[in-house]
Amino acid sequence: MKVTVLGSGTSQGVPVIACPCNVCASDNPKDKRLRSSIMIETGETTIVVDAGPDFRQQMLREKVTKLDAILITHTHKDHIAGLDDVRSFNFLTRKPMKVFARSADQMDIRKEFSYAFTDNPYPGVPEFEMIDLLEKPFQVGDIQIIPFEVKHMMLKVLGFRFGDFAYITDANVIPEKSIEKLKGVKVLVIDALRKKKHLSHFNLEEAILVAQRLGVRQTYFTHISHLMGEFDDVQKELPEGMMLAWDGLSFEVNQPDWDTHTQDI
Ligand SMILES: [Zn+2]
Ligand SMILES: [Zn+2]
Ligand SMILES: [Zn+2]
């Protein structure tokens, strides 16, 4: 199973519009960060987690020609603004796009993209098949997914475990029951906004502590702000087995051999 980091930037992306700082002016491609999202692929199934404002650019960059589903962590704009662009996949497959979201998140999406949910929609609007995301394991094609809850200040956000890999974006607390669900994870992509403390995101130090507590082999930090510093400078300070993620980073992870297969969705 292959994981690709589609975007590793915070809500404003990096560079930030009109910012003259060193990071925003950097020529290093690893300092250019689209809004946070990942893609998971097996030979059979392709899914993405979130579809932020850079979804279109991310699909083009990675030459994605088939997308089976989108999982939504939460409905902050940097995670859903690109949902309108599923139209290209709708045209291709002549089917609605499967969007897995919690019921409250579905209400937000219906409000945000109300034109797609009217009784008699304008031709060419995006088509969504909204599917309830509950906090229990489910399957899309041949990908097994374990959702778990994390806290983004007062907001409950979902993280996802895929085999020995887990993805946590937009969090500053991981409840104990979710720590349990993360046992045995070997590769982790986790939110680390910047070095300074923040109200609703882990900072770098806190994210390092979470990774150490979980005992993961390889950690990549994501949802990074320009305030984190330049990639090359920050990278030098990180413990072994930890890196800042970058856009386009990809790696292989393992899915366990499941003895019982839940029904395909
Ligand atoms: Zn975000
Ligand atoms: Zn800047
Ligand atoms: Zn958020």
Give the list of residues 6+ apart from residue 16 with CB closer than 8 angstroms, or none. 24, 226
Beta strand 37-41 with 2-7 is antiparallel
Nearest alpha carbon to residue 189 among 152, 151, 160, 146: 160
pLDDT tens figures, 121-173: 999 999 999 999 998 999 999 999 999 999 999 999 999 999 999 999 999 99
pLDDT tens figures, 220-244: 999 999 999 999 999 999 999 999 9
What's the gap in Å between 170 CA and the centre of ligand 3? 5
What's the gap in Å between 261 CA and the centre of ligand 1? 32
231, two tokens:
């990639």
| Amino acid in the structure at residue 92 | L
* DSSP β-bridge partners for residue 47: 40, 69
Distance CA 211, CA 216 (A): 6
Distance CA 13, CA 78 (A): 9
C-beta neighbour count of 167 within 10 angstroms: 26
What's the gap in Å between 80 CA and the centre of ligand 1? 10
* DSSP β-bridge partners for residue 5: 38
What's the gap in Å between 98 CA and the centre of ligand 2? 36
* DSSP β-bridge partners for residue 251: 3
Query: For all residues of the chain together, what is the average pLDDT?
Result: 95
What's the gap in Å between 156 CA and the centre of ligand 1? 13
What's the gap in Å between 73 CA and the centre of ligand 2? 26
User: In degrees rounded to 5, what are phi and psi of residue 85?
Assistant: -80, 5
Nearest alpha carbon to residue 10 among 68, 53, 60: 53
The pLDDT of residue 256: 74
Nearest alpha carbon to residue 34 among 59, 60, 15: 15
pLDDT tens figures, 55-110: 999 999 999 999 999 999 999 999 999 999 999 999 999 999 999 999 999 999 99
User: In degrees rounded to 5, what are phi and psi of residue 234?
Assistant: -70, -40
What's the gap in Å between 134 CA and the centre of ligand 2? 38
* DSSP β-bridge partners for residue 244: 221
Nearest ligand to the CA of 22 is: 2
pTM of the predicted protein model: 0.95
> What is the CATH topology of the domain spanning 2-244?
Metallo-beta-lactamase; Chain A (3.60.15)
What's the gap in Å between 12 CA and the centre of ligand 2? 10
Answer for the pair 57, 78: CB distance below 8 angstroms, yes or no. Answer: no
What's the gap in Å between 210 CA and the centre of ligand 2? 27
- Map tokens 């932020």 to a residue: 52
What's the gap in Å between 213 CA and the centre of ligand 2? 32
Answer for the pair 157, 76: CB distance below 8 angstroms, yes or no. Answer: no
The pLDDT of residue 47: 98
User: In degrees rounded to 5, what are phi and psi of residue 157?
Assistant: -125, 150
What's the gap in Å between 11 CA and the centre of ligand 3? 8
Nearest ligand to the CA of 74 is: 3
pLDDT tens figures, 21-67: 999 999 999 999 999 999 999 999 999 999 999 999 999 999 999 99
What's the gap in Å between 262 CA and the centre of ligand 1? 31
240, two tokens:
């072994």
What's the gap in Å between 116 CA and the centre of ligand 1? 23
